[in-house]
Amino acid sequence: MGFSVSGSAAIIFAAMFIAFGMWHSATTDGFERVTEAQQDHADDTLAERNTDIEIQSVTYSASTLTVEVTNNGTTALSMNATDVFVDNEYRTDWEGDARIDDAATESDLWLPAEKLTVTFSESTEPSRVKVVTEHGVGDQAEVV
């Protein structure tokens, strides 16, 4: 039992120490990722539950469709992340002409209790409008 037994035992101990260190850091990283994903999911669920919109009116007059939607929730919404569908047709580039509480806005924030007004030029009268927020919460209404 000379040097070879002591040397091999030291090498095995060092290898086990290194292997444990690699295993520990990998599992810790995995647990952190899972915990972070669970927290993100909880935050998204809370934001979804605190989101509520209601279409107040949808009117068509003289080739102009006007949609008025109120943010009844407690979450500030992004106009850029809000989608508008007219007769199941996705509409784009409406944010620039949108008004918040009947005033032009430079921000894309749509705060709680504010009314968003959007106008579109339409050659024919559509029958239905749907508005969907960034959290997947939406409302739809018939055109009157």
In tens, the pLDDT along 23-79 reads 888 889 889 999 999 999 999 999 999 999 999 999 999 999 999 999 999 999 999
Beta-sheet strand order (sheet of 138-142): 89-91, 83-86, 128-132, 138-142
pLDDT for residue 104: 77
What number does CATH give the domain 53-142? 2.60.40
Q: What is the pTM of this model?
A: 0.76
pLDDT for residue 44: 92
